[in-house]
Structure 1
Amino acid sequence: MRLHCETIVAHIDTPWTRLASLTARGLLARKGCTYDELSRTLGSIGIEESPKSVELRIQRGAFRCSFFLQLVCALHADLPTALQRILDNKTTWEDACREIALAHLPEGAFSPRLSKRLEQAGIHISPTQLESRVNSGTFSFALLLQLSHVYPIPGLERFVDCSDVAKAASEADVAHP
């Protein structure tokens, strides 16, 4: 008899996960795509996800940056030239995520100074944790949105308004003083 053990992580609703959800749902709406269609489209680029899995991830805003890039590619969304170049040259989705984040962070960004700036927006992460997550390329899309609040990412405004990023930061700061 084999036992299957799953780690269940409770979803935490935050202004950042709500913004991640809104961003992905906005992309789906603009492309006129349902969750069933998205599941099939993701399959065409080698990403196997059930429609229900896709829907739950998007509704909760609980997905990695790599998943958002997969959405963008699967839906053939128009991309800024720099982002398109990164995706064209990627070896893995995680590599693309890492390159996007690192391209917009200044040298020496993994410092207490950046952590302090993020903390002012209600984001509590140590420089070591941030560096580890970014370098692994396995960070959440919400973290990319958070970083874009401190260091704007050119072209991201095609998917999410800068004012919505600022609003999420303000709401997160109020929620976690």
Structure 2
Amino acid sequence: MSDWNDKVKRLLKSELVRRGISNSDLASMLEQIGIEETKSSIDSKISRGTFSASFFLQCLTVIGCEKIEIEEYENQLSIASEPEANYNLKK
């Protein structure tokens, strides 16, 4: 589980760094859309990598991020993939 937490933490941090936005700035930006977060609560959430999908989307929205690239991990993808099967397709 911690690998997923680390991955989402790195995604959010990299988007913030890319735009030159500090956690203090993020708190102010979130406040403008009615989300009450302090710099320290944001620090904690990002440090742990344990935050809700809602928080993640709120952050991405206020910083103007419309697209993110997610690295693919072959071993993790195989867990959710369908079993290999031969399908007979009609022409």
Question: TM range, normalised to the smaller chain?
Answer: 0.7 to 0.9
Q: Hey, what's the Cα distance between the residues in 2 that align with 1:59 and 1:160?
A: 19
Note closer, same or farther for the CA distance 1:58–1:45 as it changes in structure 2 (3 Å cut). same
1:169 and 2:76 are equivalent in the alignment: yes
1:52-131 equivalences under 5 Å are: 52-79=40-67
Q: Hey, what's the Cα distance between the residues in 1 that align with 2:75 and 2:63?
A: 26
User: For the aligned residues, what is the CA RMSD?
Assistant: 1.9
Residue 17 of structure 1 contacts residue 62 of structure 1 at CA under 8 Å; is this kept in 2? yes
Q: How far does the alpha carbon of each residue in 1:28-68 deviate from its partner, in whole angstroms, 9 at most, with x for none?
A: 11111001000000101110100010111011110010011
Structure 1, unpaired ranges of 5+: 1-12, 80-157, 171-177
- When the two structures are superposed, what TM-score results if normalisation uses the length of structure 1? 0.40
Percent identity of the aligned residues? 27
Larger radius of gyration: 2
Shift of residue 167 of structure 1? Answer: 6.5
Structure 2, unpaired ranges of 5+: 78-91
SS in 2 for 1:160: coil
Q: Which has the higher contact order (CA 8 A, sep 6+)?
A: 2
Q: How far does the alpha carbon of each residue in 1:79-129 deviate from its partner, in whole angstroms, 9 at most, with x for none?
A: 4xxxxxxxxxxxxxxxxxxxxxxxxxxxxxxxxxxxxxxxxxxxxxxxxxx
Which residue of 1 is the match for residue 7 of structure 2?
Answer: 19
Shift of residue 168 of structure 1? Answer: 7.9
Say how many residue pairs are matched: 77
